[in-house]
C-alpha cells in the first residue's frame, strides 16, 4: 500500500537512505534539506518525489514544507524527524557553549518544531518517528553535546507518545549506532578509530543503510501503532 511521508534531513546519510528505500518501494516522499543545491542533487538522483529547503529550527520553513507535502500528496501518513548535526568531538571541558547551543537547537528543538507540524498535518492514525541515536541511551566520551541533544530528543519522543497516542498518532524513536554517512565518515574511514569503535559493537560490524530503511518502513507503516513510546535500537548491540 502506497503511503505518504515527509523526512527531514533527507539529502544525506540516514535520511537520504531511508527516503530512497521508501521511494523504491512505491511510497510518496518529500525530503527537506538546508540548501537548494543538496535538495536538487537528491531529487536528481531519484531519492524522493518532492523536496523542500527547510531549516528544522525555523517553524515557518518547516510549515511550508509540510503544507507542500500535504497539498500534493493529499495528506501525510508518517513523518521521520531525522535532521541533525554532530557535536564538536571534544572533551566536555573544551566545548564551546555557543556550539553546544547550536547542537541542542538543531537536535532537540528541531524535532519539536517538526513534531508540532506533524501533529497539525498527519492523518489519523498517523506515525511520527524521531531519530534519537544510541548515544541517547549509552553516551560516548567526547560527545557531551551530541549525547545531551539526543537524550533530549528521546525524552521528547516518549513525552509525545504519552500525549498523542490516544489522538491516533503513534510516536516512536529510532536509536541508530554507526552507519555510513557524511557525519560518521571521518570516524569510519580511519582504520584505527574504526577498529576501536568495532570493539564496542557485539555484531562486529557497522550498520548497512538498507537495514535502517527496512526498519523505518515498518515503524512508519500501519503495522506498528502499538509500539508507540518505544525506543528502537539498531546498533549491532552497542547499547548493551
Residues 6 or more apart in contact with residue 52 via CB below 8 angstroms:
30, 31, 32, 39, 61, 64, 65, 68, 69
Q: Which of 5, 21, 100, 146 is catalytic?
A: 146
Active site residue 146: yes
Q: How many CA atoms lie within 13 Å of 74's alpha carbon, on the beta-carbon side?
A: 3
What is the side-by-side strand order in the sheet with 76-81? 50-53, 28-33, 4-7, 76-81, 122-131, 169-176, 231-234
DSSP run (H or E) holding 79: strand 76-81
Whether 208 contacts 14, CB under 8 Å: no
Residues 6 or more apart in contact with residue 191 via CB below 8 angstroms:
none
Q: Which residue is associated with the grid cell 537524550? A: 151
The residues annotated as belonging to the active site are: 146
Amino acid at each position: 500500500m502506497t503511503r505518504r511521508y515527509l523526512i527531514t534531513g533527507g539529502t544525506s546519510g540516514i535520511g537520504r537512505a531511508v527516503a530512497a528505500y521508501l521511494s523504491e518501494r512505491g511510497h510518496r516522499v518529500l525530503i527537506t534539506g538546508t540548501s537548494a543545491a543538496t535538495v536538487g542533487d537528491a531529487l536528481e538522483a531519484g531519492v524522493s518525489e518532492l523536496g523542500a529547503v527547510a531549516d528544522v529550527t525555523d517553524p515557518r520553513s518547516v510549515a511550508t514544507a509540510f503544507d507542500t507535502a500535504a497539498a500534493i500528496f493529499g495528506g501525510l501518513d508518517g513523518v521521520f524527524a531525522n535532521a541533525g548535526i554532530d557535536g564538536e568531538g571534544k572533551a566536555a571541558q573544551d566545548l564551546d557553549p555557543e556550539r553546544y547551543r547550536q547542537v541542542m537547537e538543531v537536535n532537540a528543538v528541531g524535532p519539536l518544531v517538526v513534531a508540532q507540524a506533524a501533529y497539525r498535518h498527519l492523518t489519523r492514525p498517523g506515525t511520527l518517528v524521531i531519530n534519537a541515536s544510541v548515544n541517547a541511551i549509552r553516551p560516548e566520551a567526547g560527545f557531551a553535546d551530541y549525547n545531551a541533544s539526543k537524550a533530549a530528543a528521546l525524552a521528547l519522543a516518549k513525552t509525545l507518545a504519552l500525549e498523542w497516542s490516544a489522538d491516533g498518532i503513534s510516536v516512536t524513536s529510532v536509536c541508530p549506532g554507526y552507519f555510513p554517512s557524511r557525519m560518521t565518515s571521518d570516524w569510519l574511514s580511519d582504520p584505527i578509530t574504526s577498529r576501536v569503535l568495532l570493539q564496542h559493537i557485539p555484531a562486529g560490524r557497522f550498520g548497512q543503510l538498507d537495514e535502517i530503511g527496512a526498519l523505518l518502513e515498518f515503524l512508519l507503516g500501519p503495522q506498528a501503532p502499538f509500539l508507540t513510546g518505544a525506543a528502537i535500537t539498531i546498533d549491532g548491540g552497542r547499547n548493551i
